[in-house]
Structure 1
Amino acid sequence: MDSSSSVKIVSKCFVKPKTIPEESKQPYYLSPWDYAMLSVQYIQKGLLFHKPSLDSIDTLLEKLRESLAVTLVHFYPLAGRLSSLTTENPKSYSVFVDCNDSPGAGFIYATSDLCVADIVGAKYVPSIVHSFFDHHRVVNHDGHTLSLLSVQNWTVYEPCDGRRYCLLEVFTAWSEIFQGQESNKNDDLCLKNPPVLKRYIPEGYGPLFSLPYSHADEFIRTYESPVLKERMFCFSSETIRLLKAKVNQICGTTSISSFQSLTAVIWRCITRARRLPLDRETSCRIAADNRGRMYPPLHKEYFGNCLSSLRTAAKAGELMENDLGFAALKVHQAVAEHTSEKVSQMIDQWLKSPFIYHIDRLFEPMSVVMGSSPRFNKYGCEFGMGKGVTLRSGYAHKFDGKVSAYPGREGGGSIDLEVCLVPEFMEALELDEEFMSLVSL
């Protein structure tokens, strides 16, 4: 791709909720999980659409703004800003969302000289894609001065970023409202699955938590990604079905999921690509939703951070000398053992000694970290431009061994993996016969 490719910001504005909910007049408190994410970078995910006709751009942008304003009625905290209360003696730092003193969510229109083929057809994700997202390299705590949600609209791209909330839920609701306005069927602003905004506050605590600091500099750390190769690998629904059947047959069970099976493959093959010493421990982490694992369970539409990073580990030699079932059982066991008791223990630990996640300290070197999820219908989000062409992400949370899972565009259980590796490991992975035999594209 031509390195001179550039982007140009055409206009910027802010969007407020179409109507102001009564609840927004009160502070919107954060849960322990939200606090832990204050030093983590903004989520940056985007859907790529085919470019609409030029004479419809202004109309499309206006419809997007109008439907976003309605969406923010349901997700009003995303139109706010963070605010803090601090004391010196004793040290105390508390954060909440102020929904009253804010210009709203960011809404940006920009142009680029790229075309869809430049992105979809490239072997590696072009670095310019990172420019398609607002709030580059900032962390969630910067929401004190920056919008908590920012939408950047391109003539070839439709990306969005936001704090560590349920971004897909926002996308889905926005798409539903956009399509409802198009058909004049959503005048009452109703959603099929409205978010549950009531915060999770452990009994006997809050609603305002305190960190043992007096200034943000004491716990905010910036993170710089290393030089990476980013590549999308696609796995057909048939490949995923056969892989799951194979893994369960090897292990003599039926309980190992498709995603656990694929995670085992990627952990094993990346470890082989790294040529680690046989006695070197390597870990694999997988994100787990805690909503249904809590007791009592949180509502499935609970809007907020509610994730745990589940860890399993093995010596590199064990992964290489055993069959795929060994790795799959390790991954499956980590998920099966993540019970409501484990979640409660994690929450109690945070309440006794609050901590903040830092990417460079959270994950071990030579690990594999599976993020995002292929379970959600991301391609079901449409905004008058037809079905999305593909999914991409920004600069945030990228490191050697980071893998993000998305649903395949074909549906039916297909999965796309966005793999980030340093160049030498990516080259070795591309030569791995076990891995590449499963890749369909």
Structure 2
Amino acid sequence: MSSPGIQHISQCFIKPKNTPEEAKQPIYLSQWDLAMACANYIQKGLLFAKPPAFDRENQMEDLLEKLKDSLALALDHFYPLAGRLATLKQENPPIYSIYVDCNNSPGARFVHASLNSTIDDILSPVDVPKIVQSFFDHDRAINHDGHTRPLLTIQVTELIDGIFMGCSANHMIVDGTSYWHFFNTWSEIFNANGQKIAISRPPIHKRWFLEGHGPILSLPFTHHDQFVRIHEAPQMRERVFHFSSESLAKLKAKANAESDTTKISSLQALAAHVWRCITRTRNLPPDQETSCMMAINNRTRLCPPVPQEYVGNCIQAVRATAAAGELLDRGLGWSSSKLHLAVHNHTDEIVRNWVESWLQSPVIYQAAEFIDPCSVLMGSSPRFNMYGSEFGLGKAVAIRSGYANKFDGKVSSFPGVEGGGSMDLEICLRPHSMSLLESDEEFMGAVTVSSSRD
């Protein structure tokens, strides 16, 4: 790598081109949104190869202007991302709640940066280079910081032969589904080349509340010092492992055959495979309880279902548990079945019971709840249309993420660049565990290549 640091060239703020009337009213947040106050921003981005004969100055300036113009139009539809958080406090009756204020905000931040490095400098190392964290704004910020920070920052970092588009979005405003909905809509508007279009999937901003509740949900606090906690990740290695569609088909077939069923999905089989192999690296006592958590979209679980275009958090985590010894002895089918059952049992009733419980005793997620040296947490989703956003640059060559929401045992799943049902897993582990995982024959036997660039 030629240069050790990112050079920030310019920044500006982008407001919606035409602010809709509904943006002038407070946007109150749901229980799933409020619970995310101490999580980090979502930080995901796409790495593009520069098109042939791409001029470093004029074409880059043209691209930046088009990105800014189309972002302003995208914010017409996703206007909460141009706002700031605000806190509503009231003594009688007591209310403490957080909402989005779109009236007192400079807008979303847009940053242009450069790095004197190549695509291979980013993708060829075995581990994800630490410099990738610099491709994103809001490093180590938590969502509550959205009171004073933008709720959305786009950072466009120019490499010698590539362009990285990093998007940092407040996790109280969007979950993964609505994050990529925004990204895809922005790309759709960009590709219209200034023509006014009717976007294919208009967002739905009306938050989901349990009958008889909302729109203002009060938290049991009087000051943010009572709940704001900052998590600092330990020293870890972060690596991307690739699984071809053929490899995943074998894992799925094995899991279903061992369980005498046909219902286990490729993702459930892969998650079980990772759960077992990471547990083996940790050398836990046989009776030590382990767990595998999977982030799950509540939209299709609720009755009636919530549209996929719903903007906001509509997620929870389902959990399968097993003693370490039994997990390793029983095989892939048994662990896959436990994960399948956890997903299958996540019904409308379960979701509503969780919401009722939260309303009776509101909580804000703290990192310590998910950081367990005996657990694995599967986040993100290979179902998100990550490679569908091209911005006139062609298909991205890789997906990478920032510092946010990472800890020992965090696994993020992305679609593979070649499509066809392939997947990439971004795995974060303590250095010793990662070394053991890399030498684990069962795990590596399913890995096709270790980088998402073919």
Corresponding residue number in structure 1 for 2:393: 385
Task: Answer whether contact 1:109 1:153 (CA < 8 A) is retained.
Answer: yes
Asked if 1:94 is matched to 2:73, the reply is no
SS of the residue aligned with 1:193?
coil
Q: 2:196 aligns with which of 177, 187, 190?
A: 187
Post-superposition offset of 1:36: 0.3
Q: For residues 274-313 of structure 1, what are the structure 2 equivalents within 5 Å?
A: 274-313=282-321
Q: Distance in 2 between matches of 1:90 and 1:370?
A: 40
Q: For residues 70-219 of structure 1, what are the structure 2 equivalents within 5 Å?
A: 70-87=73-90, 92-155=95-158, 156-164=163-171, 165=174, 166-181=178-193, 186-188=195-197, 190-219=198-227
Q: Distance in 2 between matches of 1:313 and 1:243?
A: 20
Corresponding residue number in structure 1 for 2:351: 343
SS of the residue aligned with 1:159?
strand
Q: Deviations for 1:161-207, whole angstroms, at most 9, x for unmatched residues?
A: 101202101100001000112xx6x414x111111111112221121
Q: Distance in 2 between matches of 1:437 and 1:49?
A: 30
Percent identity among equivalent residues?
A: 53
Task: Answer whether contact 1:86 1:215 (CA < 8 A) is retained.
Answer: no
Corresponding residue number in structure 2 for 1:15: 14
Post-superposition offset of 1:87: 3.8
Corresponding residue number in structure 1 for 2:434: 426
Asked if 1:41 is matched to 2:40, the reply is yes
Q: Deviations for 1:121-152, whole angstroms, at most 9, x for unmatched residues?
A: 11000011111100011111111111101100
Q: Distance in 1 between matches of 2:238 and 2:79?
A: 34
Between the two proteins, the alignment pairs up a number of residues equal to 436
Q: Distance in 2 between matches of 1:411 and 1:7?
A: 31
Q: Distance in 1 between matches of 2:370 and 2:419?
A: 33
Task: Answer whether contact 1:112 1:154 (CA < 8 A) is retained.
Answer: yes
Post-superposition offset of 1:114: 1.6
Q: Distance in 1 between matches of 2:200 and 2:241?
A: 33
**Partner amino acid, structure 2, of 1:15:** I
Post-superposition offset of 1:89: 6.9
Greater Cα offset, 369-378 or 198-207: 198-207
Q: Distance in 2 between matches of 1:292 and 1:148?
A: 27
SS of the residue aligned with 1:292?
coil
**Partner amino acid, structure 1, of 2:136:** F
Structure 1 portions without partners, runs of 5+: none
Q: Distance in 2 between matches of 1:149 and 1:245?
A: 41
Structure 2 portions without partners, runs of 5+: 450-454
**Partner amino acid, structure 1, of 2:370:** L
**Partner amino acid, structure 2, of 1:34:** D
SS of the residue aligned with 2:192?
helix
Task: Answer whether contact 1:87 1:214 (CA < 8 A) is retained.
Answer: no
SS of the residue aligned with 1:375?
coil
Task: Answer whether contact 2:135 2:164 (CA < 8 A) is retained.
Answer: yes
Post-superposition offset of 1:90: 6.8
Post-superposition offset of 1:362: 3.2
Q: Distance in 2 between matches of 1:217 and 1:240?
A: 46
Post-superposition offset of 1:67: 0.4
Q: Distance in 2 between matches of 1:21 and 1:67?
A: 16
**Partner amino acid, structure 2, of 1:212:** P
Corresponding residue number in structure 2 for 1:65: 68
Q: Deviations for 1:283-341, whole angstroms, at most 9, x for unmatched residues?
A: 10001100011122111211110001101110110011111111101111100111111
Q: Distance in 2 between matches of 1:100 and 1:341?
A: 38
Q: Distance in 2 between matches of 1:88 and 1:112?
A: 51
Corresponding residue number in structure 1 for 2:452: none
Task: Answer whether contact 2:254 2:332 (CA < 8 A) is retained.
Answer: no
Task: Answer whether contact 1:366 1:400 (CA < 8 A) is retained.
Answer: no
Corresponding residue number in structure 2 for 1:375: 383
Q: Deviations for 1:335-385, whole angstroms, at most 9, x for unmatched residues?
A: 011111100010001110000001122343221000000012211110111
Q: Distance in 1 between matches of 2:85 and 2:99?
A: 6
Q: Distance in 2 between matches of 1:302 and 1:163?
A: 16
Greater Cα offset, 197-206 or 96-105: 197-206
